[in-house]
């Protein structure tokens, strides 16, 4: 049986910052991995001051982000699909989002394309964000809502019969990779090893915010440390969004592998038996299907 994982993300680059080492880990094991980008990232800004392709970004940010996603897909060796919706942007407080943007569209409009993909790809595992979107960007929140809506519709034989045979996804996970526990473990090991390192000083400035309690604990710890370099290469493919020396994203991988060598998720629902904590998103599936 071929194992298949589907990850639903809001924008190109989200797949590389939230689960890329896990995707590479499962590709190495022979699983099929498909990433869905709900939008093209056309509402994004240039977040890398040293971007070489600045003129391209200023002229056609959508086209550049499509090229960046193609590069990241190649690095991760994954399958990829665009849902094709318009980026909602991150409005200022009190501002409204565009009526034709992804976050504003009814689920009955934005959800069916994902239902079709789920029925065609037939994944056993679905990974997405929690109801808060991981952080409160309207497209992240909508990506969660669309993923959950489509998961239920894909399994319903009476819903959208023209979109393929019904398919029930066995396990649903929320991404919990940016956990306070992970940050603290890496920070404390770096502080003990090399307190004079300039990165330690910068992480100290981030400590209060990054160490804050944020949401439920992970249940599933995927041993993806061998693929942290692949993750970083994929993330650097999105050069318009990530500076190559970003303190937020890039920490020494040898330290990370010692302090916290996993990427972490929370099991939300399962049709198969499993024992928590897990070390495998597919735990229980190979014996049940």
Highest-pLDDT range among 25-39, 91-105, 128-142: 25-39
Residues 178 and 212: beta-carbon distance below 8 Å: no
How buried is 184 (Cβ within 10 angstroms: 0-12 exposed, 13-18 middle, 19+ buried)?
middle
Q: Does the pLDDT value for residue 21 go beyond 70?
A: yes
CA triplet 76, 283, 180: central angle to 5 degrees? 65
Domain boundaries, the chain: 4-178+217-251+262-270, 180-213
The strand pair at 220-222 and 79-85 is best described as unpaired
pLDDT at 133: 87
CATH 1.10.760.10 fits 4-178+217-251+262-270, yes or no: no
Q: Residues 202-238: pLDDT tens digits?
A: 888 887 777 666 678 899 999 999 999 999 999 999 9
Q: Among residues 21, 15, 129, which one has the least CA distance to residue 81?
A: 15
Q: Does the pLDDT value for residue 197 go beyond 50?
A: yes
| Average pLDDT of the chain to the nearest whole number | 92
Contacts of 235 (CB under 8 A, 6+ apart): 13, 16, 17, 20, 72, 242, 249, 250
pLDDT at 261: 98
Residue 251 to residue 128: CA distance in whole angstroms: 24
Q: Residues 52-65: pLDDT tens digits?
A: 888 887 888 899 99
pLDDT at 289: 45
Banded model confidence at residue 68, pLDDT cuts 50, 70, 90? very high
pLDDT at 155: 98
pLDDT at 287: 47
pLDDT at 91: 72
Q: Does the pLDDT value for residue 271 go beyond 80?
A: yes
Residues 126 and 144: beta-carbon distance below 8 Å: no
Return the structure tokens found at 149.
């809506």
Q: Is 98 left (phi over 0), alpha (psi -120 to 50) or beta?
A: beta
- Positions of E strands within the chain: 4-9, 32-39, 79-85, 125-128, 171-175, 220-222, 263-270
Residue 239 to residue 68: CA distance in whole angstroms: 7
Q: Residues 90-118: pLDDT tens digits?
A: 776 667 888 899 999 999 999 999 999 99
Residues 152 and 146: beta-carbon distance below 8 Å: no
For the ranges 115-129, 164-178, 243-257, the lowest mean pLDDT is seen at 243-257
Q: Residues 73-94: pLDDT tens digits?
A: 999 999 999 999 999 987 766 6
Residue 197 to residue 289: CA distance in whole angstroms: 50
Q: Is 164 left (phi over 0), alpha (psi -120 to 50) or beta?
A: left
pTM, two decimal places: 0.94
pLDDT at 50: 75
- Which one has a higher pLDDT value, 169 or 245? 169
Return the structure tokens found at 224.
């993806």
């Amino acid at each position: 049986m071929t194992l298949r994982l589907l990850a639903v993300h809001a924008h190109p680059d989200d797949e590389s910052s939230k689960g890329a080492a896990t995707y590479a880990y499962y590709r190495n094991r022979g699983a099929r991995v498909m990433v869905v980008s709900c939008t093209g990232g056309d509402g994004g800004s240039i977040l890398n001051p040293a971007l070489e392709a600045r003129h391209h970004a200023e002229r056609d940010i959508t086209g550049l982000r499509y090229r960046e996603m193609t590069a990241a897909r190649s690095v991760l060796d994954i399958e990829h699909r665009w849902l094709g919706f318009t980026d909602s942007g991150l409005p200022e407080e009190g501002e409204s989002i565009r009526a034709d943007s992804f976050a504003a569209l009814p689920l009955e409009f934005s959800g069916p394309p994902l239902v079709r993909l789920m029925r065609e790809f037939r994944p056993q595992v679905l990974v997405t964000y929690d109801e808060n979107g991981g952080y409160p960007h309207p497209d992240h929140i909508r990506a969660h809502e669309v993923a959950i809506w489509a998961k239920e519709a894909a399994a319903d034989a009476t819903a959208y019969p023209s979109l393929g045979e019904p398919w029930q996804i066995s396990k649903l996970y929320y991404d919990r990779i940016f956990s306070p526990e992970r940050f603290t473990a890496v920070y404390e090991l770096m502080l003990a090893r090399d307190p004079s390192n300039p990165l330690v000083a910068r992480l100290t400035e981030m400590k209060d915010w990054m160490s804050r309690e944020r949401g439920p604990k992970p249940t599933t710890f995927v041993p993806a440390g061998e693929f942290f370099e692949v993750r970083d290469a994929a993330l650097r493919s999105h050069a318009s969004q990530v500076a190559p020396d970003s303190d937020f994203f890039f920490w020494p991988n040898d330290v990370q592998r010692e302090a916290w060598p996993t990427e972490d998720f929370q099991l939300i629902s399962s049709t198969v038996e499993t024992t928590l904590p897990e070390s495998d998103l597919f735990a229980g599936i190979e014996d049940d299907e």
